């Protein structure tokens, strides 16, 4: 997801977010807003399957960022359910 040429224009906060998630919180929140809960859930399952593959080939940094995105998405679903 990371676009290194675009990273040069990031604020410190956005840079930290990209380092943590491989995208900004704004990107994640936009994805959450655009999709129903079941789509987000399926996306998280798919992300975790890809993490298994990343771990097998030694892409631990990409796996870490993907896991962080999955955790953020799951946490956001928990907050959506709690606000109902």
pLDDT tens, 52-84?
A: 999 999 999 999 999 999 999 999 987 776 665
pLDDT in tens, 27-50: 999 999 999 999 999 999 999 999
Instruction: Report helix, strand and coil shares of the chain as percent, to nearest 5.
Output: 80, 0, 20
pTM as predicted: 0.81
- Mean pLDDT on 9-18: 95
What the block records as the tokens of 65 is 């960022």
């Amino acid at each position: 997801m990371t676009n290194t040429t675009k990273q040069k224009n990031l604020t410190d906060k956005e840079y930290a977010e990209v380092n943590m998630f491989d995208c900004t919180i704004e990107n994640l929140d936009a994805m959450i807003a655009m999709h129903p809960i079941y789509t987000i859930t399926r996306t998280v399952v798919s992300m975790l399957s890809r993490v298994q593959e990343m771990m097998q080939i030694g892409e631990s940094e990409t796996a870490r960022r993907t896991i962080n995105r999955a955790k953020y998405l799951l946490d956001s679903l928990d907050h959506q359910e709690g606000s109902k």
